[in-house]
Amino acid sequence: MGAATAWRLAERGVSVIGVDQFAPPHPLGSTHGLTRLFRVACLEHPALAGYALAARELFRELEARTGRRILTETGGVFVGAPDSQVVAGSREAARAAGIDVEVIDADELRRRYPQQAGVLDTDVAVLDPNAGVADPEQYLSAALEAATAAGARLVTGTRVRSVDVDKDGVTVTTGAGRLRARQAVVTAGAWLDTLVPSLPLDPIRSPLTWFAPRQGEGFGIADYPVFIRQLPDSTIVWSHGAREGEDVKVGLGDIGVDHPRIRADELDRGVSPAETAELSAVVSRVLPGLDPTPSRVQPCMITRTPDGQFLLGRVGPRLVVGGGDSGHAFKHAPAIGEVLARAVLDEEQVLRTDFVDPLRFGAP
Ligand SMILES: Cc1cc2nc3c(=O)[nH]c(=O)nc-3n(C[C@H](O)[C@H](O)[C@H](O)COP(=O)(O)OP(=O)(O)OC[C@H]3O[C@@H](n4cnc5c(N)ncnc54)[C@H](O)[C@@H]3O)c2cc1C
């Protein structure tokens, strides 16, 4: 969110300094691990289709400017009972956005995607041709390159200790000294509430997990599209094809699932087999072509809000925030940067922002 905001502001000629405690891209926050699902028919909220379409254009612009490959469109398959959150939500999002999606029955699903086991006769699948896989590290590098090319200054390896607002501007106190600015945009991911307290945020741990195909075929990025499947017990499982030399990433949905709140600075970066036991059991049942013992696990974090939607916009005359990613913000990142840049400059928004207003739960 911060990289895109720096880019969109610098592009408009605004004087920008971006500060990060690490050196992005890095594996210590929420934006790492080689792949993220990109979808346009976003079941989390019908208005997010507009964000995804705007983000896709900006991803393509970054690719053209930097020569980096960010987004690979593979199509997406959203499976479950017709009235399940995954199927009904994706269809509703597609309808609201005017996107054409195909709906296929269980037999056709089994025929086209034999990697999926245990499909019920009553299951259906929604096919979104716009879905795909986006690369977080390539995106971050491209956005930061575009930001610096447009004049932004980046200060990395420097922790922000506080952001103090007064009537004339903000003082950002870092480990390396103080910065003075007219406004601050705080996009600190799982650390956001340490800099802007009282926002309704719940950071949780959510590891990235990869599984090796048993046969080495059928799970390449070209033959295995982005999948989200809701099982009869409501468990949501997602996966997508592996890039050359990588294994298949699989995960469980976090919506409605209880997770202990964490402090980002104290994230346990170890990995225990117990933590991945539930995911391994699901992989055995629904993706028997994969070895259910993870080949790799990498810690990551999600920052939840009470309604599962982001917090994007102005919280005070000198302060804009971007956060509360709720586990689905990466695909929208450059569009989020554009929304935050418009918020800083009090420009009219093109995308709908009422459902992401950071003040919708009250003032921080
Ligand atoms: C397992 C998993 C799977 C996911 N899958 C998807 C997916 O398929 N599709 C999708 O769209 N999204 C997905 N997401 C969500 C997505 O990855 C996040 O929404 C997104 O990466 C959040 O970006 P961010 O900019 O908010 O946070 P971050 O990338 O963490 O950025 C915050 C930055 O702020 C810096 N920072 C924090 N505090 C300070 C400080 N005091 N001083 C200086 N710097 C500071 C941090 O170092 C960090 O670089 C997934 C997330 C997880 C965990």
The yes-or-no verdict on residue 118 having pLDDT over 90 is yes
* pLDDT of 182 higher than 90: yes
Q: Is the pLDDT of residue 83 over 80?
A: yes
| Predicted pLDDT of residue 273 | 85
Going across the sheet that includes 226-230, the strands are 102-105, 124-128, 76-80, 226-230, 236-239, 248-252, 208-211, 296-298
82 Cα: distance to centroid of ligand 1 (angstroms): 32
Residue 22 scores a pLDDT above 90: yes
Structure confidence at residue 82 (pLDDT) = 97
Condensed to tens digits (0 to 9), the pLDDT of residues 144-169 reads 999 999 999 999 999 999 999 999 99
Region(s) of the chain under CATH 3.50.50.60: 2-29+137-203+306-353
Q: Which residue has the tokens 């990697």?
A: 115
* 216-232 pLDDT, tens digit each: 778 999 889 999 999 99
Residue % of the chain over a pLDDT of 90: 90
**Ligand 1 mean position to 259 CA, how many Å?**
17
At 213 the three-state DSSP class reads strand
**Residue type for 55, please?**
A
Please determine, for residue 34, whether its predicted confidence score (pLDDT) is greater than 80.
yes
Per-residue b or e along 253-277, where b marks 16 or more CB atoms closer than 10 Å to that residue's CB: bbbeeeeeebebeebeeeeeeebbe
Nearest ligand 1 atom to alpha carbon 238 = 8
Residues with CB under 6 A from ligand 1: 1-2, 19-22, 24, 29-31, 36-37, 159-160, 187-189, 191, 195, 206, 208, 251, 300-302, 323, 325, 327-331
| Residue type, position 235, single letter | T
Say if residue 363's pLDDT is above 80. no
What spacing in Å lies between the alpha carbon of 24 and ligand 1's midpoint? 11
Q: What is the pLDDT of residue 319?
A: 98
Predicted confidence at residue 255, as pLDDT, reads 73
Q: Can you tell me the distance from the alpha carbon of 205 to that of 302, in angstroms, rounded to the nearest whole number? A: 6
Beta bridge partners of 301: 205
The identity of residue 360, as a single letter, is: R
Beta strand 102-105 with 71-73 is unpaired
Work out which ligand 1 atom sits closest to the CA atom of 2: 25
Query: How confident is the model over 45-55, as pLDDT tens digits?
Result: 989 999 999 99
pLDDT surpasses 90 at 286:
yes
**What pLDDT is attached to residue 7?**
98
Q: What is residue 47's predicted lDDT score, i.e. its pLDDT?
A: 93
- What is the total residue count of the chain? 364
Helix H or strand E encompassing 108: helix 106-112
- Longest C-alpha distance within the chain, in Å? 65
pLDDT band at residue 270 using 50, 70 and 90 as cut-offs: confident
Give the pLDDT score at 105: 98
| Average pLDDT value over all residues in the chain | 95
| CATH 3.30.9.10 domain residues, the chain | 73-131+206-302
Q: 2-29+137-203+306-353 has which fold?
A: FAD/NAD(P)-binding domain (3.50.50)
CATH topology of domain 73-131+206-302: D-Amino Acid Oxidase; Chain A, domain 2 (3.30.9)
Q: What pLDDT is attached to residue 153?
A: 98
Model confidence at 291, pLDDT cuts 50, 70, 90, reads very high
Is 256 a residue whose pLDDT tops 80? no
Instruction: Output the six-digit token pair for 34.
Output: 């080689």
CA distances from 260 to 47, 79, 327 (A): 29, 28, 15
Instruction: Choose among 79, 43, 85, 88: nearest CA to 286.
Output: 79
Q: What is the pLDDT of residue 335?
A: 98
Among 40, 64, 68, 43, residue whose Cα is nearest residue 53: 40
Q: How many CB atoms lie within 10 A of CB 218?
A: 16
- The Cα 298–Cα 293 span in angstroms is 14
Residue-level pLDDT at 300: 96
Decide if 189 contacts 323 (C-beta within 8 A). Answer: yes
pLDDT at 272 over 90: no
Predicted local confidence at residue 261, as pLDDT = 92
Mean pLDDT (whole number) for 328-332: 98
**pLDDT at position 214 over 90:** yes
> Residue 303 and residue 352: Cα distance in Å, rounded?
21
Distance CA 243, CA 219 (A): 9
